[in-house]
Amino acid sequence: MADTMELRDIEVWDGNMAAAQALRQVQVDVVAAYPITPSTPVVENYANFLANGYIDGEFVMVESEHAAMSGCIGASAAGGRVATATSAQGYALMVETLYQASGMRLPIILNVINRALASPLNVNGDHSDMYLGRDSGWIQFDAYNPQQAYDLNFVAFKVAEDHDVRLPVMVHQDGFMTSHTAQGVKTLSDEVAFNFVGEFQPMNDMLDLDHPVTHGVQTEEDWHFEHKARQHNDLMTKVFPKIQAAFDAYEALTGRKYNIVECYDMDDAEVAVVCMGTSVETAVEVAKEQRAKGIKAGVVGIRVIRPWPFEQIAQAFQGCKAIAALDRSSPNGAPGMLYNELAGTLYNAATRAVLTGYVYGLGGRDLTKSLLNQIYADLVANAAAGKPTTALQQLIGVRGPKLEFL
Amino acid sequence: MQKSGWSEFEIGAMLRSFEGATNNIAITHQEDRPYSKSNSFTASVADWRIVKPVFNKEYCIDCQFCWIYCPDISIISRDKKMIGIDMDHCKGCGICVEVCPTNPKSLLMFPEQQDEEAALSEWPAKEKKEN
């Protein structure tokens, strides 16, 4: 029996420790992991807890991230509660198995500590790895600070393991900006945390020897489409109600409220910035400063990236006149992902807000308040003109001649 | 099952081996197991074969080599007596013939279309040892 860890009501944790403590508190059975900066402390801390008797689990050291997720898939199909963590190049190496995990409907939790994808090699935070997984059939949550990284892990297990869902979940946080920045984190006791998620309820597990099953079967043109259609249907129809129910239950337990789309000062906002990760907190601060100057500024943070909250997004921008989509990943020859998703979402919606896009913060480059002030100045001009006054895509915070396209 | 729609099967790329619960399946003979429709046992792969093994009971010593070596569990043995070949799953690899130790062999490969009676009638005689 695992030992209980006595926690203070507020602990000073960085995002990695917050995620690791959540994995300990839900008593993850198997972590198969391979270290990579900046995610390493998540699994390192789990291994530490395990070695010190705080977890009744198994830590499997493997030879690559591909093997890490493969080990997680095997352990999950066998019937265990399973989690791991990775970043950037490791995430890229995992991609093949990410699709396996979701197609096999295995409720694995992956903490992704967002980091730029090489080349050039870079260990700092941007969202290129997070974007890479967006068609992989996983549910994706985004945390903006260590507290949220802690809280969203519990919600992730609760949603993933629900027998009506049975889909893997990624909990994202920004590399270094969140993962290595210690902040006060309000904790749950081990008992309360575990009871929120509950005992793992296996489904079609390989260790149920009275009901033998074959996992990971091959299908060709006669069956493949039906399986993918089923998974897409479940992502489109079953996941949001379960996420909302889990958010509601978590709020009832802790008082901390999460929303599928996070709106800050959006009730009467005329100009709005849409972003993810730590950028949301900076943008919220700048929006308040803009409001002090009489500009009706707001911020929308995407909390659930997949499934994409189409209806909630359309709802969020009613009355808005100009929107900026901030993408922290090089689109490499296209508009940014957030720009495209927002354009697709809003094209048939009631709003006719002007939509422009910005690419920022690659490889951990800071998103400064002055950059956000410039964005809001652009938005105010767009709102007044009723059309874009800038290029549809601008790269901001990069040295050299101004880069803008479209 | 062939025409089931996307909402008509269990989630996950997963197939059940048997209908309902099983116990002591390891000591239940294949013909008595409640195989599911999706179990590969219920599918015939006989058409993969271009040559087939023919069993000549007259020379068999029930050594069980063929049963042990068959990669497709297609040698049917009961109470340690070789009783025949599962022709729905045998793929004609010839390993059983290769490992058969009798003289002449109790298993020989013949063309798939060869009549079994004819095959048995042309069985080779015992080879004499030289010296």
| Domain ranges within chain B, ordered by starting residue | 1-43, 44-112
Q: What is the DSSP letter of B35?
A: B
Q: Which residues face B78 on adjacent strands?
A: B81
Contact A180, A13 (CB under 8 A): no
Helices A224-237 and A239-254 cross at an angle (nearest 10°) of 40
In whole angstroms, what separates CA A275 from the centre of its chain? 12
pLDDT at A238 over 80: yes
Question: Mean pLDDT, to the nearest integer, of A290-298?
Answer: 98
Q: Which of B7, B14, B17, B37 to mutate to test the interface with A (most CBs of A within 10 A)?
A: B14
At B76-127, the pLDDT tens digits run 999 999 999 999 999 999 999 999 999 999 999 999 999 999 999 999 999 8
Please give the residue of chain A at the shortest CA–CA distance from B19.
Answer: A211
**Chain A residue closest in CA terms to B35:** A212
For strands A139-142 and A169-174, give the pairing. Answer: parallel
Q: Assess contact for A263 and B42: CB atoms under 8 A.
A: no
Report the 10 Å Cβ neighbour count for A35: 17
Which runs of consecutive H residues, i.e. helices, occur in A255-387? 279-292, 310-316, 337-346, 369-385
- DSSP E strand stretches across A87-230: 109-114, 139-142, 169-174, 183-186, 213-215
Residue located via tokens 């040295």: A399
Phi-psi region of B60 (alpha: psi -120 to 50; beta: other; left: phi over 0): beta
**Looking up tokens 């004609």, which residue turns up?**
B92
| Mean pLDDT value of segment A168-180 | 98
pLDDT value at B131 more than 80? no
Smallest Cα distance from B88 to chain A, Å: 21
Reported ipTM: 0.86
Domains of chain A: 10-254 (3.40.50.970), 261-405 (3.40.50.920)
Nearest-angstrom CA–CA distance, A127 and A138? 16
Which positions in chain B touch A214 (Cβ < 8 Å)? Answer: 14-17
Provide CB contacts within 8 A for A343, sequence distance 6+: A335, A355
Q: Pick from A104, A20, A45, A113: which is nearest to A70 by CA?
A: A104
| Backbone phi, psi, residue B80, to 5° | 60, 25
Mean pLDDT of chain A: 97
Residues in B 13-32 with any Cβ partner in A closer than 8 A? 13-18, 21-23, 25
A318 to A237, A345, B2: CA distances (angstroms): 23, 13, 48
User: Is the pLDDT confidence value at A37 over 70?
Assistant: yes
A383-to-A264, A350, A352, A359, A376 alpha-carbon distances in Å: 19, 16, 11, 20, 10
The predicted-structure confidence for A41-73, as pLDDT tens digits, reads as follows 999 999 999 999 999 999 999 999 999 999 999
Q: Are B22 and A105 within 8 A, CB to CB?
A: no
Instruction: State percent of chain A over pLDDT 90.
Output: 98
Contacts of residue B38, Cβ cutoff 8 Å, sequence gap at least 6: B1, B15, B16
Closest CA to B4 of A239, A230, A212: A230
List the one residue out of A263, A239, A272, A120 whose CA is nearest residue A169.
A239
| Contact check, Cβ <8 Å, B23/A233 | no
Contact by Cβ (8 Å): A211, B34? no
Distance CA A29, CA A27 (A): 6
Q: What is the mean pLDDT of residues A243-249?
A: 98
- Within 13 Å, how many C-alpha atoms sit on residue A48's CB side? 10
Q: Can you point out the beta strands (E) in A135-240? A: 139-142, 169-174, 183-186, 213-215
Question: How far is Cα A322 from Cα A200, in angstroms, rounded to an integer?
Answer: 46
pLDDT at B1 exceeding the cut of 80: no
Nearest CA in chain A to B11: A105
CA atoms within 13 A on the CB side of A288: 6
Asked if the Cβ–Cβ distance from B11 to A211 is below 8 Å, we say: no
Task: Give yes or no for a contact between A329 and A362, defined as CB atoms under 8 angstroms apart.
Answer: yes
Contact A337, A326 (CB under 8 A): no
Interchain CB contact of B10 with A (< 8 Å)? yes
Task: Please report which confidence band the pLDDT of residue B24 belongs to, taking 50, 70 and 90 as the band edges.
Answer: confident
Examine the pLDDT at B130 and tell me if it is beyond 80.
no
Cβ neighbours of residue A337 closer than 8 Å, sequence gap 6 or more: A131, A134, A327, A329, A331
Quote the pLDDT of residue A331: 97
Q: Do A204 and B14 touch (CB under 8 A)?
A: yes
Which residues on B lie below 8 Å from A234 (Cβ)?
A: 11
Average pLDDT over residues A253-275: 98
> Considering the domain B44-112, what is its CATH architecture?
2-Layer Sandwich (3.30)
pLDDT score, position B2: 66
| Candidate from B14, B21, B23 with C-beta closest to A215 | B14
Task: Identify the residue whose tokens are 């907190």.
Answer: A281
Task: Strands of A133-246 (E only): list them.
Answer: 139-142, 169-174, 183-186, 213-215
Task: Answer yes or no: are the C-beta atoms of A298 and A287 closer than 8 Å.
Answer: yes
Instruction: Name the pTM for this structure.
Output: 0.92
A182-220 pLDDT, tens per residue?
999 999 999 999 999 999 999 999 999 999 999 999 999
Q: What is the pLDDT of residue B31?
A: 87
Please tell me which of the candidates A213, A222, A233 has its beta carbon nearest to residue B15.
A213
